[in-house]
A = this chain, B = another copy of it.
Amino acid sequence: MIKTIEWTDEGVVMIDQRRLPSEELYPVFTTYDEVAVAIEEMVIRGAPAIGVAAAMGIALGAKQSAASTPDELESDFNQACDRIAKTRPTAVNLFWAVKRMGEVFRAVKQSGASIEAIQNRLIKEALNIHEEDIESNKRMGRYGAQLLPQDVTILTHCNAGALATAGYGTALGVVRAAVEAGKTVNVIADETRPFLQGARLTAWELAKDDIPVTLITDNMAGHFMKSGQINCVVVGADRIAANGDVANKIGTYMVALAAHANNIPFYVAAPLSTIDLELKSGDEIPIENRVITEVTHIRGQQISPDGIQVANPAFDVTPHRYIAAIITDAGVARAPYEESLKALFK
């Protein structure tokens, strides 16, 4: 069992995903600011995992507060929330977790609880989010596995696995549930430039679980679809708008286009916490641009010449018309998504 993130007395322990697969390191992050930097620098990544890290970072900030009154604690708490909320803009699970922690804080404070009681309640809430995420992934996996044929080759992009969540995974949760249901499953993993989440993380965690995986470069996906070697696509999501448009790791859109052109069902697996009903369409989802050295350098080695421009948008938006179904922890939604997604929240 891969331990992506854990709450300990010393602080938040996370597997350093930048170093995988060559090194399996578990550094401890001892302040909310260290947790924030870990999110920014992608020690931890993947929308649900970012949500858990955000909650634990906020709990850590509250725990370490030297406040002597609940009002002072609130000020420290808000500072931690603000810092955490500024780490990454696209994955909505981050803001969902910040909001949820804030609601708990205010409710407990209003009830007249002591500083220590508030602190303990926040830690409890972060642990709840962690635990619920694993349960939610397992439910999602079961819903998703039912959509797959008995013998299936699944293409996935980026890493929406145990490493992108508290455990089990969203897209790879569907893969794991299909295996557990006795299906014959092969995975084709896009390497996912520039950060190589597919080559480094998806390939690593599937190999660890003895699930057959074939690594390809991102630009090969269309070729394997056209030559009939892929039955369906399952990816995760960083934010889903009310109309079903999906922001996910850069390149997802091209995978969806290739699936559409080849009549291959394209599934998105994500918990309700990834769905942002406040945004009408994917056009409103903010897309993070990251440092260009992620593109120009691989493992510290420069691959491109100096004196050129470089772009590095970390996500793209896949229009809902290319999505066969959105698999959530509350069931499977299909078009028209305006209605089906809203219904899941009831």
Binding site for B on A (CB under 8 A): 21-22, 188, 190-194, 196, 199-200, 203-204, 206-207, 212-224, 226, 250-251, 253-254, 257-258, 261, 295-296, 298-299, 301-313, 316-317
Contact = CB atoms under 8 A, between A and B. Distances in A.
27 contacts: A188-B311, A193-B218, A193-B219, A194-B217, A196-B303, A199-B303, A203-B304, A203-B308, A204-B304, A212-B309, A213-B309, A215-B308, A216-B312, A217-B251, A218-B251, A219-B219, A219-B250, A219-B254, A220-B251, A222-B257, A222-B316, A223-B313, A226-B253, A253-B258, A254-B254, A254-B257, A257-B261
B304 A221 contact: no
Contacts of A188: 311
Contacts of A311: 188, 214-216, 220, 224
Contacts of A308: 203, 206-207, 213-215
Contacts of A261: 257
Residue among A206, A257, A299 with most chain B CB within 10 A: A257
Contacts of A251: 217-220, 222
B191 A295 contact: yes
A310 B226 contact: no
Given A207-B305, A295-B191, A304-B191, A215 B254 contact: no
Nearest to A213: B308
Contact of A207 (B216, B220, B258, B307): B307
A215 B298 contact: no
Contacts of A306: 207
A50 B320 CA distance: 44
